[in-house]
Amino acid sequence: MTKTSGTGRRAEIAGAGIGGLTTAAALAQRGWSVTVHERAPNLRTFGAGIYIWSNGLRVLKAIGAYDQAAVGAHIGPQFHTRDHDNTTMEEIPINGHGDARLITILREQLINSLVDTCRRSGVEILTSSEAVGATAEGELLLVNGNRRKADLVVGADGINSKVRDSLDLMMYRKHLGYGAIRMLISRDDADVPSEDRDRYIEYFTGTRRILYTPASATDLYVALCCAADDVAALKVPADRALWTESFPHLAHLVSRFGDAGRWDAFEVVKLKKWSKGRAAILGDAAHAMPPYLGQGGGCALMNGIGLAAAVADAADIEQALAAWEARERPITEHTQDTAERLGDMNFWPDGLRSQVMKITGKSRELGAERMKTARYAPTATEPLA
**Domain-embedded: residue 243:** no
pTM of this prediction?
Answer: 0.95
The 10 Å Cβ neighbour count of residue 120 is: 15
Mean pLDDT is lowest, of 204-218, 234-248, 365-379, for 365-379
Please indicate, yes or no, if residue 313 is contained in any of the structural domains: yes
Name residue 220's amino acid. L
139 domain-assigned: yes
What integer pLDDT is reported at residue 6 of this predicted model?
A: 46
Residue 149 lies in a domain: yes
First-to-final CA distance of the chain: 17
- Write down the mean pLDDT value for the chain: 94
* Cα 100–chain centre separation: 17
Sheet holding 152-155, edge to edge: 124-126, 33-37, 10-14, 152-155, 279-281, 275-276
Task: Determine contact, residues 276/286, Cβ cutoff 8 Å.
Answer: no
Q: pLDDT value at position 7?
A: 64
pLDDT digits (tens, 9 = 90+) for 25-73: 999 999 999 999 999 999 877 668 999 999 999 999 999 999 999 999 9
pLDDT digits (tens, 9 = 90+) for 199-234: 999 999 999 999 999 999 999 999 999 999 999 999
Q: What is the mean pLDDT of residues 357-373?
A: 87
pLDDT value of position 1: 53
| Cα–Cα dist 323/266, whole Å | 29
Which domain CATH number covers 141?
3.50.50.60
Q: Are the beta carbons of 343 and 176 closer than 8 angstroms?
A: yes
Amino acid 98: pLDDT: 61
- Domain containing 23: what range? 10-72+107-173+268-344
Q: Are strands 200-205 and 208-214 parallel, antiparallel or unpaired?
A: antiparallel
pLDDT at 366: 82
Task: Name 338's Cβ contacts closer than 8 Å, sequence gap at least 6.
Answer: 293, 369, 370, 372, 373
Q: Taking 70 as the threshold, does the pLDDT of residue 2 lie above it?
A: no
Q: What is the DSSP string of 285-336?
A: HHH---GGGS-HHHHHHHHHHHHHHHHTT-S-HHHHHHHHHHHHHHHHHHHH
Instruction: Assess whether pLDDT exceeds 60 at residue 169.
Output: yes
The DSSP H or E segment spanning 178 is: strand 170-186
For 365, residues 6+ apart whose C-beta sits below 8 A from its C-beta are none
pLDDT (tens digit per residue) in 336-348: 999 999 999 999 9
> Is 130 domain-assigned?
yes
Q: What is the pLDDT of residues 295-336, one digit of tens each?
A: 999 999 999 999 999 999 999 999 999 999 999 999 999 999
pLDDT band at 95 (very low <50, low <70, confident <90, very high): confident
- CA atoms of 343 and 293, how far apart (whole Å): 10
Number of domains into which the chain is organized: 1
Q: Does residue 48 lie within any of the structural domains? A: yes
Q: Is 163 part of any domain? A: yes
Q: Exposure string (b/e) for 54-78, b if CB count within 10 Å is 16 or more?
A: bbbbbbbbbbbbbeebbeebbebeb
Burial of 194 (0-12, 13-18, 19+ CB in 10 A): exposed
Answer yes or no: are the C-beta atoms of 136 and 279 closer than 8 Å: yes
User: Residue 362 domain-assigned?
Assistant: no
pLDDT at 99 over 80: no
Residue 344's Cβ-count burial label (10 Å; 0-12, 13-18, 19+) is exposed
